[in-house]
Chains A and B, each alone.
Chain A
Amino acid sequence: MEKTEPSIVKRSLFSWIFPGNLKLQILLLLIIIVMVAARVIPLEMQRLVINEAIKLQRIDLLLRYCGIYLAAVVFFSLLKYLTNVIQTLITQRTTARMRKALYHHILTLPLNFFRNTQPGTVVNALTTELTVPGNFVGLAVASPVTNILTLLAFAIYLFVLNPLLAAVSLSIYPIVVFLIPLLQRGVNKANKKRVDAARTFSARIAESISGIHEIHGNGAYRIENRKYDSLVDRLLKIRIVWSLYRFAVKTANGFFTALGPFLVFILGGYLTIKGQLELGALVAFLSAQERLFDPWKDLIEFYQVYQDGKINYERTMEYFDVEPEHAIEPKDRGPMELAGTVEVKDLSFVTDTGIHLLDGINMSLEEGEHLALVGFSGSGKSTLALCIGQLYKYTGGSVMIGDKEVSGLTKKDMVNNIGFVAQSPFIFDGTIEENILYSSMAKIDGNGQAEEEQRPTLDDIIAVLHQTGIFVDILRFGLNAILTHGKNEELVDTIVKVRKNFQQDYGKDLADYVEFFDENRYLYYSSVVENLTFGAPNKSDFSDENLSKNQYFLKFLKTADLTRPLLSLGVTLCRQTVDILGNLPPDAVFFEQSPISAEELDDFKLLVERLKKKKLHELEDDDHRKLLELALRFTPGVHKMAALPEILETLILEGRALFREKISEDNPEAFTFIQMSQYIYSQTILNNIFFGKTKTGNPSAQEQIDQSIIQLLIEEDLLETIIEIGMHYQVGTKGDKLSGGQQQKLAIARVFLKAPKILIMDEATSALDNKSQARIQNLLETRWKKKSTVVSVVHRLDTIKNFDKVAVMKAGKILEMGTYDELMARKGMLYELVGKK
């Protein structure tokens, strides 16, 4: 759609008024004309009521005129509502169109642009900045037409009734229109001064308060008082002027509004007494007088919206008025299939400030050759890789891929032939699966029918997961999933079937890392509520979040003597957690070990404040409920800010037996108790296999756990099922639920899945452990050599021995290039670098 339109940043604000809204605007125009007519009718009816109905004392006329009056008012209101709806439609649709077009444009801007642009600026431009221009477009036809027509209609009507009186009563408005903005300008000026002065004033206070020990130490009270007092005096003067202007505007407004009826009375009254004006006409004048004010006001407001909208719009568009460096898609041909050769000739890259990041680079690669770029950071190796990949636009020389110059290719051509793994790859919110398919889908997007055929199969995906070593991570996500009733029944059956044998086979080895469910022991890695009920709730009023409101459960807690100790545990947890985390941002790292989630923190902060002022028993029921809920979540093995008192532990264990007895009698369906023969739907798959919970995040322990679990899953043919579940794991905003290594593996996996002809890797394995790094390296050497051309920016020199070529860079130049052995034998730069290592 946008291809036919000019770039959004070149469009004027007025160009949004009709295109796309033409039908709506015309409809609006028609309605307005009818509406203005409907607005004059009440005036005429007023006149007729007085002049005919009252004068002639005829009830039937009175009823008829009043009926018409009422009908006109109702009709007018309906039309008014309709115009508002249409205006809103136009405003919102235009704003949405502006937002889409601008966002689409911004995404294509060169990387360089974003270096000097904060994400906040873009967010602001797309959200707030475009609102007023959108409003303007909604008003652009309706407001001036309605108000000018209304004014004209009233004026004509009044002139017809009595030209002299009409001229006199209309004469006030031009004065108001000129005088009020004049005064308003004074208000604005004074206000600006006031804001500035208030800022200095606040800074002064902040400074003296933070330096209070110095003031005390020097006894410099008078000095500081003098500085402060003079600022207060200045502010005082400015505020008085400001207030004077403000009241002047108010008074002038009031004065002129009151002056209108005065003129009509004095002149109109005189004319009526003299018999030159009918009484009805006088009344019509009086009400017209009142109604004239609104259109004037609306016009002035519209002018303001126009000014603001124009400024916002122009400033925003000007800011983003940058040309994309490369076309996104080819216009008159399909995407190109390129050969895998790379030829760089005399390449240079000079920044705007004249720094040579690359200088006279010459190199070439045959199809399927692998090149390692090495050198200190800042030597230009990443820049070279990015230039080859078209992410930077080089300023001199040439880069040829196949027989095509890179700067002349479109993004689509590049994407279809090149894969890119960035140094700190970005993972977007969504599932693992969506992220794995990210590169492949972007490549085949828009290929029409072929899209489905080109989509990677599950087998392709699983192969890549294995190759990049992210398989185990995804398996773990799958194992940590919680199943819902009725789904994956086969899996559930198998787990229940195998877990007894599993515990017999591995129980002893895993005992250090797993706390097995045991009816007779307190479980330190399970919450208080899990310890108490020792089962999974089947009814929603017994679910974790509703339990603290459940009367049956609350009564049980009282019987078991648990209410008081749990509340006091809740208080400890609440105080300690707020004390530790009170000022930290809602980052997952900080809240993993906390019983209070990031969203609840503010609530509990307030609760802590209330706890300072009141005793526990004086708090409201709602606060008691919150504290109880907190205590019920408490898991001693995870939440280390409080300890579990021994007495409470004993009480809970006793309570467990009591609860089972009672609930089996009163409500046997409510819980499924934890037992070997039942799948526990409140627990993860892993906990179900273990029939227990893991105690540690220690990597070596994790590895041992993984090994035993994988063996089991292979034996039971469940591996693929779990992987599929794991693929639906949500990675969080910016992938923040993944570790740095996992993010990097995912980034490599998504490019491997695309299997590009040329692969550019910019320190792509820097966050990986030795094993994963070796795995990727091995993969490149065995599966990719002679098939895909690889340009790899390398930071660990122990991985470069088997590359076909190694180029050593320094200060934007290639100092030496050859095989690893050649360069080492030459005892030049590489030899020195490796030696240093």
Chain B
Amino acid sequence: MSSLERNNSTPSSEFQENLELLRQIYFFSGIPLETLKVFAYLCTRENFKQDEYIFSQDEDDGQAFYIINGQAQLERQDNGETTEVREYKTGDFIGGLTLLGETRRLFSLKSVTETTCLVLNRAKFSKTLEQFPNLLAKICNALAKSIDLWEERFLANRADQCGECMSQLGVTLI
């Protein structure tokens, strides 16, 4: 409850802070303010202790996270072995795809330091979406663009190191 303990004479509400944060997230770009307000209102803040799992591989927790504060490690388990995949830090948004449909996590996310996240779940997201039917097109558009951007960057920066995995590329062509 850090934000509440920091009350001063003209405090801004958690809702307003959430709204500011959501406006910076690419996934929500192009969404009109009226709808974004509903999302900002429905979001909750969760604190995770050091080494606590934020989500776990193979589970469908149906949540998207924005790291307000802290650091988290993405892991992948294969045949009992854990591989560290990458790190997320303050300001990263994780799991937009989860909001759109039932998917099981391919990775686990574990907090490295004490971490505070803004969390939105699929139930709230889809209930809101039902109220603003035009929205889905905008979100699909943002999603398609970000997948496209991802692969374009991968090709530009990493393709030469890829070797055999080259034949598996083409996520933008699904």
Assuming the A-B contacts A593-B42, A696-B46, A697-B44, are A770 and B59 also in contact, with contact meaning beta carbons closer than 8 angstroms in the complex?
A: yes
Question: Is A580 a contact partner of B38 (Cβ separation < 8 A)?
Answer: yes
Set B3, B41, B49: member contacting A641, Cβ < 8 A: B41
CB of B151 closer than 8 Å to a CB of A = no
CB of B157 closer than 8 Å to a CB of A = no
Dominant secondary structure of chain A at its interface with chain B: loop
In the complex, what residues of B have CB within 8 A of residue A576's CB?
13, 15
Assuming the A-B contacts A646-B8, A739-B123, are A700 and B52 also in contact, with contact meaning beta carbons closer than 8 angstroms in the complex?
A: yes
* CA gap between A800 and B61 in the complex, in Å: 23
In the complex, what residues of A have CB within 8 A of residue B152's CB?
none
14 residue pairs from A and B, CB less than 8 Å apart: A576-B15, A580-B37, A583-B34, A589-B123, A589-B127, A590-B127, A640-B15, A641-B13, A642-B15, A644-B4, A645-B9, A645-B11, A649-B7, A769-B60
CB of A490 closer than 8 Å to a CB of B = no
Assuming the A-B contacts A524-B1, A580-B41, A649-B7, are A642 and B13 also in contact, with contact meaning beta carbons closer than 8 angstroms in the complex?
A: yes
CB of B53 closer than 8 Å to a CB of A = yes
Query: Interface size on A (CB < 8 Å)?
Result: 35
* CA gap between A239 and B164 in the complex, in Å: 79
Using CB atoms, name the residue of chain A closest to B49.
A512
* CA gap between A576 and B52 in the complex, in Å: 35
Query: Interface size on B (CB < 8 Å)?
Result: 33
CB of B58 closer than 8 Å to a CB of A = yes
Set A512, A584, A700, A740: member contacting B131, Cβ < 8 A: A584
Q: Which of B1-45 contact A (CB under 8 A)?
A: 1, 3-4, 7-15, 18, 34, 37-38, 41-42, 44
CB of B158 closer than 8 Å to a CB of A = no
Using CB atoms, name the residue of chain A closest to B44.
A697
In the complex, what residues of B have CB within 8 A of residue A647's CB?
9
Question: Is A698 a contact partner of B46 (Cβ separation < 8 A)?
Answer: yes
In the complex, what residues of B have CB within 8 A of residue A649's CB?
7
In the complex, what residues of A have CB within 8 A of residue B145's CB?
none
Given A581-B41, A640-B14, 5 other A-B contacts at CB below 8 A? A587-B127, A642-B15, A647-B9, A698-B46, A700-B53
* CA gap between A740 and B46 in the complex, in Å: 22
Question: Is B11 a contact partner of A644 (Cβ separation < 8 A)?
Answer: yes
CB of A354 closer than 8 Å to a CB of B = no
CB of A585 closer than 8 Å to a CB of B = yes
CB of B98 closer than 8 Å to a CB of A = no
Query: Chain B 151-168 against A: per-residue CB contact (8 Å), 1 yes, 0 no?
Result: 000000000000000000
Using CB atoms, name the residue of chain A closest to B60.
A769
Set B4, B9, B44, B131: member contacting A585, Cβ < 8 A: B131
CB of A402 closer than 8 Å to a CB of B = no
Q: Which of B100-134 contact A (CB under 8 A)?
A: 102, 123-124, 127, 131
CB of B47 closer than 8 Å to a CB of A = yes
Report which A residues bind B (CB closer than 8 A): 512, 524, 576, 579-581, 583-585, 587, 589-590, 593, 636-637, 640-647, 649, 695-700, 739-740, 766, 769-770
In the complex, what residues of A have CB within 8 A of residue B44's CB?
696-697
Dominant secondary structure of chain B at its interface with chain A: mixed
Question: Is A643 a contact partner of B41 (Cβ separation < 8 A)?
Answer: no
Return A593 CB to nearest CB of chain B, in Å: 7
* CA gap between A637 and B12 in the complex, in Å: 14
Q: Which of B55-110 contact A (CB under 8 A)?
A: 58-61, 102
Question: Is A643 a contact partner of B7 (Cβ separation < 8 A)?
Answer: yes
Set A583, A637, A644: member contacting B7, Cβ < 8 A: A644
* CA gap between A366 and B12 in the complex, in Å: 67
Using CB atoms, name the residue of chain B closest to A525.
B1
* CA gap between A512 and B52 in the complex, in Å: 13
In the complex, what residues of A have CB within 8 A of residue B13's CB?
576, 640-643
In the complex, what residues of A have CB within 8 A of residue B12's CB?
643
* CA gap between A303 and B62 in the complex, in Å: 62
Return B68 CB to nearest CB of chain A, in Å: 14
In the complex, what residues of A have CB within 8 A of residue B7's CB?
643-646, 649
* CA gap between A770 and B105 in the complex, in Å: 11
In the complex, what residues of A have CB within 8 A of residue B58's CB?
770
Taking each of B7, B38, B47, B52, which has the highest tally of chain A beta carbons within 10 Å of its own beta carbon? B7
Question: Is B15 a contact partner of A641 (Cβ separation < 8 A)?
Answer: yes
* CA gap between A240 and B37 in the complex, in Å: 50
Question: Is A640 a contact partner of B18 (Cβ separation < 8 A)?
Answer: yes
Return B1 CB to nearest CB of chain A, in Å: 6
* CA gap between A584 and B124 in the complex, in Å: 13
* CA gap between A700 and B61 in the complex, in Å: 11
Question: Is A512 a contact partner of B123 (Cβ separation < 8 A)?
Answer: no
Which 5 A-B pairs give the minimum distances between C-beta atoms?
A643-B11, A640-B14, A646-B7, A643-B13, A641-B15
* CA gap between A740 and B60 in the complex, in Å: 13
Return B111 CB to nearest CB of chain A, in Å: 11
In the complex, what residues of A have CB within 8 A of residue B9's CB?
645-647
Using CB atoms, name the residue of chain B closest to A594.
B41
In the complex, what residues of B have CB within 8 A of residue A769's CB?
59-60
* CA gap between A17 and B58 in the complex, in Å: 66
Question: Is A637 a contact partner of B4 (Cβ separation < 8 A)?
Answer: yes
Question: Is B52 a contact partner of A640 (Cβ separation < 8 A)?
Answer: no
Question: Is A640 a contact partner of B59 (Cβ separation < 8 A)?
Answer: no
Return B38 CB to nearest CB of chain A, in Å: 6
Taking each of A580, A583, A585, A647, which has the highest tally of chain B beta carbons within 10 Å of its own beta carbon? A580
Question: Is A699 a contact partner of B37 (Cβ separation < 8 A)?
Answer: no
Return A776 CB to nearest CB of chain B, in Å: 16
Question: Is A593 a contact partner of B1 (Cβ separation < 8 A)?
Answer: no
* CA gap between A590 and B102 in the complex, in Å: 22
Using CB atoms, name the residue of chain B closest to A640.
B14
Set A581, A643, A646, A740: member contacting B14, Cβ < 8 A: A643
Taking each of B4, B44, B60, B102, which has the highest tally of chain A beta carbons within 10 Å of its own beta carbon? B4
Return A436 CB to nearest CB of chain B, in Å: 23
* CA gap between A576 and B41 in the complex, in Å: 10
Question: Is B37 a contact partner of A579 (Cβ separation < 8 A)?
Answer: yes
Set A584, A590, A636, A696: member contacting B4, Cβ < 8 A: A636
Using CB atoms, name the residue of chain B closest to A587.
B127
In the complex, what residues of A have CB within 8 A of residue B123's CB?
589, 739-740
In the complex, what residues of A have CB within 8 A of residue B47's CB?
512, 696
* CA gap between A636 and B127 in the complex, in Å: 24
In the complex, what residues of A have CB within 8 A of residue B52's CB?
700
Using CB atoms, name the residue of chain A closest to B122.
A740
* CA gap between A606 and B67 in the complex, in Å: 38
* CA gap between A576 and B7 in the complex, in Å: 19
* CA gap between A599 and B138 in the complex, in Å: 32
* CA gap between A697 and B124 in the complex, in Å: 14
Question: Is B61 a contact partner of A699 (Cβ separation < 8 A)?
Answer: yes
* CA gap between A645 and B9 in the complex, in Å: 6
Return B39 CB to nearest CB of chain A, in Å: 10
* CA gap between A700 and B108 in the complex, in Å: 14
Return A592 CB to nearest CB of chain B, in Å: 9
Taking each of A524, A585, A640, which has the highest tally of chain B beta carbons within 10 Å of its own beta carbon? A640
Set B8, B41, B53: member contacting A640, Cβ < 8 A: B41
Question: Is A637 a contact partner of B41 (Cβ separation < 8 A)?
Answer: no
Taking each of A576, A644, A698, which has the highest tally of chain B beta carbons within 10 Å of its own beta carbon? A698
In the complex, what residues of B have CB within 8 A of residue A770's CB?
58-59
In the complex, what residues of B have CB within 8 A of residue A739's CB?
123
Using CB atoms, name the residue of chain A closest to B126.
A589
In the complex, what residues of B have CB within 8 A of residue A740's CB?
123
* CA gap between A585 and B127 in the complex, in Å: 10
* CA gap between A34 and B44 in the complex, in Å: 76
Return A741 CB to nearest CB of chain B, in Å: 10
Return A269 CB to nearest CB of chain B, in Å: 75
Using CB atoms, name the residue of chain B closest to A769.
B59
* CA gap between A640 and B10 in the complex, in Å: 15
Using CB atoms, name the residue of chain A closest to B11.
A643
Taking each of B1, B52, B61, which has the highest tally of chain A beta carbons within 10 Å of its own beta carbon? B1
Return A565 CB to nearest CB of chain B, in Å: 12
Set B4, B18, B49: member contacting A643, Cβ < 8 A: B4
* CA gap between A37 and B7 in the complex, in Å: 86
* CA gap between A643 and B1 in the complex, in Å: 12
Q: Which of B127-149 contact A (CB under 8 A)?
A: 127, 131
* CA gap between A697 and B8 in the complex, in Å: 27
